[in-house]
Amino acid sequence: MSCIWQDVELPAGFRLDFRETTGSTNDDVREAARAGAPAGLVVVAGRQQSGRGRRGAAWVCPPGEGLAFSVLLRLTEPKALWPRLSLAAGLAVAEGLDRHGVAAEVKWPNDVWINGKKIAGILVEAGEDFVVVGIGINVGVTEFPQALEDSATSLALECGEAPELPLVLASMLERLPVWQAKIGADFDELLRRFRERCALTGERVRLTAADGVLVGEAAGIGDGGELLVRTSEGIRRIVQAEEVRVVES
């Protein structure tokens, strides 16, 4: 497994730390950041034993079939803007996947879909003076557990074959700095591109917000990056939510 990562050249500004087995790449990057590591560190795991998604949900990434990695960022923008990195990372992953022959969409706030199925998840975690962007992508997976077979997909399933993992990683990293740079003054451009790819707009959704379960029509993405949901009581602006699902009308 590790041989495919030998002598890999990443885009300028990034450096690779490959680990055959680790608990969580996000935890590894956080530890390195606290020890003073500069931005651009990319930890890739051949096997993650404690990978996780949002709200602590487990993220399973089969060895050799999935790409699990985390990136260390150090930002100059105000900390209040850092949550926008979830949108930026989603766009970077979607555009990176496009280069491998698919048409990817972003599912607010932190997933990437192809044909209505999840192919990638993103977990952004902020520290005191750094941000860790963790990304998991189904690359060569051809069989999913029964609970996921109707809701998950991979590059192998969508394209008929799986590209090499280092190539997939490089395609993401080439796009991440582009959108990271636009969480501040150029956020309008980021929003425009995210809205163009938004998989939820016009769909009936069910989600769990701070005040309980909400069902309505996803009306788009607001000017702050929030999800707009149209209900019988009007438009709700959802900044954070769990279990955002598309449901039948």
CA distance 34 to 24: 16
Query: Would you state the CATH architecture of domain 2-197?
Result: 2-Layer Sandwich (3.30)
Is the pLDDT assigned to residue 171 strictly greater than 80? Answer: yes
- Per-residue pLDDT, 1: 52
Beta 41-48 vs 15-22: how paired, if at all? parallel
- Per-residue pLDDT, 61: 60
Best CA proximity match to 224, nearest among 175, 177, 188:
188
Is the pLDDT assigned to residue 57 strictly greater than 70? Answer: no
**Per residue in 65-103, pLDDT tens?**
899 999 999 999 999 999 999 999 999 999 999 999 999
Beta strands in the chain (DSSP E): 15-22, 41-48, 66-73, 105-107, 111-114, 117-126, 131-138, 204-209, 212-221, 227-231, 234-238, 242-246
Task: With cut-offs at 50, 70 and 90, classify the pLDDT of residue 6.
Answer: confident
211-240 average pLDDT score: 96
Which residues, at least 6 apart from 117, have a Cβ–Cβ distance to it below 8 Å?
Answer: 150, 151, 152, 153
CA distance 201 to 187: 19
Backbone angles phi, psi at 186, to 5 degrees: -100, 30
Residue with tokens 């970077």: 92
- Per-residue pLDDT, 3: 81
Give the DSSP per-residue string, 150-191.
TTB--HHHHHSS---HHHHHHHHHHHHHHHHTTSSTTHHHHH
Is the pLDDT assigned to residue 39 strictly greater than 70? Answer: yes
Query: Would you state the CATH architecture of domain 204-246?
Result: Roll (2.30)
pTM recorded for the entire structure: 0.93
Averaged pLDDT score across all residues of the chain? 93
Is the pLDDT assigned to residue 59 strictly greater than 70? Answer: no
Task: With cut-offs at 50, 70 and 90, classify the pLDDT of residue 165.
Answer: very high
CA distance 155 to 223: 32
The answer to whether residues 154 and 119 touch, using CB atoms and an 8 Å cutoff, is yes
- Listed by start position, the domains of the chain span 2-197, 204-246
184-213 average pLDDT score: 96
Q: At what angle do helices 165-180 and 85-98 cross, to 10 degrees?
A: 140
Best CA proximity match to 68, nearest among 35, 43, 38:
43
- Per-residue pLDDT, 164: 95
CA distance 120 to 235: 29
Best CA proximity match to 72, nearest among 143, 207, 177:
177
Q: Which tokens go with 139?
A: 């690359």
Best CA proximity match to 135, nearest among 8, 13, 25:
25
pLDDT top residue among 167 and 63: 167
DSSP bridge pairs for 238: 227
138-152 average pLDDT score: 91
- Per-residue pLDDT, 127: 96
- Percent of the chain at pLDDT > 90 equals 83
- Per-residue pLDDT, 189: 98
The answer to whether residues 180 and 88 touch, using CB atoms and an 8 Å cutoff, is yes
- Per-residue pLDDT, 72: 98
CA distance 106 to 188: 17
162-177 average pLDDT score: 97
Lowest mean pLDDT of 40-44, 46-50, 227-231, name the range.
46-50
